[in-house]
Amino acid sequence: MDMRVADAAALPLEDASADLAIAFMSLHDIDAMPVAVHEIARVLERGGRLCLAIVHPINSAGRFETEQGDAPFVIKGDYLRPFSYSDKIDRDGLSMTFHSQHRPLEAYFLALEEAGFLVETLREPGVPSHAADLERRHRWQRLPLFLHIRARIVSRGSPMDWKLDRGANGDYIARAMAQLAIPAPADRAHATSV
Ligand SMILES: C[S@@+](CC[C@H](N)C(=O)[O-])C[C@H]1O[C@@H](n2cnc3c(N)ncnc32)[C@H](O)[C@@H]1O
């Protein structure tokens, strides 16, 4: 397997050279997250997919007041304002500090939208029952720990360019546009005149 280590905001890969990209627990640690998402879009072929997992934005926005299972979760600052935070993890004698960014959900969806992605599935996992052996873990059965998204590249521009991606996927795109209340191409002249 060809393995390369590189900055996610400058991938050393050709345009449209991949059919699947995985960003596992990394986009919230990447300063130039929207640039990295554009880079992923660039290297994916049309119809290619991105699977990403991040710390859920509600998780990074606040914290539980105590370790009790029914502890209140408090957001002292702003959910909508991005900010930096660090987590120091000690394990097996090793100490690691992760420098992350809290960003609201909209920041990720805007980056995906602007890079031409259509979100297909979204999951908000908490701690599963079989792993909730400690009381403090019960708290994360009430709120999501992580956010999982699978997105498909449908265009290289804004959602208004989706009209270019018809053919076999025309119905799928039209349904998605309807769900997002984006006028279908045939209706757009009418819609923009109101
Ligand atoms: C929480 S770790 C997850 C690593 C790995 N995916 C895993 O599951 O073990 C986040 C990683 O993102 C990396 N990272 C941060 N900014 C980056 C960038 N601009 N380009 C590539 N990697 C970056 C960090 O070095 C760190 O290894």
Q: Does residue 78 have its Cβ closer than 6 Å to ligand 1?
A: no
Q: How far is the CA of 26 from the centre of ligand 1 (A)?
A: 5
Nearest CA to ligand 1 atom 26: 26
Q: Does residue 26 have its Cβ closer than 6 Å to ligand 1?
A: yes
Q: Does residue 9 have its Cβ closer than 6 Å to ligand 1?
A: yes
Residue 113 CA: distances (Å) to CA of 63, 119, 130, 132, 160: 29, 9, 36, 35, 10
pTM over 0.85: no
Q: Does residue 98 have its Cβ closer than 6 Å to ligand 1?
A: yes
- Residue 174 has what pLDDT? 53
CB within 8 Å of 159: residues ≥ 6 apart: 113, 177, 180, 182
Looking from the CA of residue 98, the nearest atom of ligand 1 is 1
Domains of the chain: 18-153 (3.40.50.150)
Residue 23 CA: distances (Å) to CA of 8, 30, 55, 187: 10, 11, 12, 36
Residue with tokens 């909508």: 80
User: Residue 153: helix, strand or coil by DSSP?
Assistant: strand
Segment 93-138, tens digit of pLDDT: 999 999 999 999 999 999 999 999 999 999 999 999 999 989 999 9
- Residue 156 has what pLDDT? 67
Looking from the CA of residue 9, the nearest atom of ligand 1 is 19
115 CB burial (10 A radius; 0-12, 13-18, 19+): buried
Sign of the four-CA dihedral 75, 79, 84, 86: positive
For a mutational test of ligand 1's pocket, the pick from 28, 29, 91, i.e. the residue with the most ligand atoms closer than 8 A to its C-beta, is: 29
Segment 67-78, tens digit of pLDDT: 999 999 999 999
- Residue 141 has what pLDDT? 95
The token duo for 102 is 């809290």
Q: Does residue 7 have its Cβ closer than 6 Å to ligand 1?
A: yes
Looking from the CA of residue 30, the nearest atom of ligand 1 is 16
CB within 8 Å of 23: residues ≥ 6 apart: 8, 36, 40, 50, 51, 52, 53
Q: Does residue 8 have its Cβ closer than 6 Å to ligand 1?
A: yes
Residues of the chain with pLDDT under 50: 158-173, 176, 179-180, 182-194
Residue with tokens 């097996």: 92
Q: What are phi and psi of 150, to 5 degrees?
A: -115, 125
Rounded to a whole number of angstroms, the distance between the first and last alpha carbons of the chain is 55
For a mutational test of ligand 1's pocket, the pick from 28, 30, 59, i.e. the residue with the most ligand atoms closer than 8 A to its C-beta, is: 30
